[in-house]
A and B are shown apart, each in its own frame.
Chain A
């Protein structure tokens, strides 16, 4: 079955530690995204990547880093510089092209809690 997997589902981190959230897709999509969701809020874009070895900052990139070495994978690192990292993190992917719907497909999410 094609889809997006994220791991782990739950992650606990001590203050001052970096953690990496995994995101893998087998949909053959070119574009991948990371969003953050806080309670009672919509999704906010952290980083996105349209193609391998290229990525761009979203609206709230400070304290986060990403890599895109393979088409299928787009891991997100939450660094110690992120002041308030406790949140729900969602990864998504889509085909991107001019015109068309190009809806984003989402993974099941990772809930990060800083202790």
Chain B
């Protein structure tokens, strides 16, 4: 079964508008972590935001926020006030077993975001 599902291959948004990128996950662990990474055309993966499964509040980091709905197993990324530089691929990833030492990341297939002027 796919662990991380990103159903939107591509999204378009106008500059200064907000956009939500969807991510659903599948795990039987109670302890896990969710990450969002941005990959510009240069290829490097840039860490954006993290949500732990026991975190009571939704994570926020500047213009990025994570809409974490544990019961629905979703961890959507919200980008407010989009900028042209936000155009990139966005990947959702999950790490299981937060409190057991090393845990590998499992990535979704990504969503390509294009921001238009």
Contacts and interface: CB of A to CB of B under 8 A. Distances in A.
Interface of A: 31, 33, 40-45, 48, 50, 58, 88, 90, 92, 96-99, 101-109, 111
Contact of A101 (B33, B37, B101, B104): B33
A88 to B, nearest CB: 6
A6 to B, nearest CB: 9
29 contacts: A33-B104, A41-B109, A41-B110, A42-B93, A42-B107, A42-B108, A43-B91, A43-B105, A43-B107, A48-B104, A58-B104, A96-B101, A97-B101, A98-B99, A98-B100, A98-B101, A101-B50, A101-B52, A102-B95, A103-B50, A104-B47, A105-B47, A106-B37, A106-B44, A106-B45, A106-B46, A107-B44, A108-B42, A109-B44
Given A42-B109, A45-B104, A45-B105, 12 more contacts: A41-B110, A42-B93, A43-B91, A50-B102, A98-B100, A101-B33, A101-B50, A102-B95, A103-B35, A103-B50, A104-B105, A106-B37
Nearest to B4: A42
Contacts of B45: 43, 90, 92, 104, 106
Interface of B: 4, 33, 35, 37, 42-47, 50, 52, 91, 93, 95, 98-102, 104-105, 107-110
A98 B107 CA distance: 21
Contacts of A50: 102
A109 B41 CA distance: 11
Contact of B47 (A33, A45, A88, A103): A103
A104 B33 CA distance: 12
A58 B42 CA distance: 25
Which among A43, A97, A99 has the highest number of chain B CB atoms within 10 Å? Answer: A43
Contacts of A103: 35, 47, 50
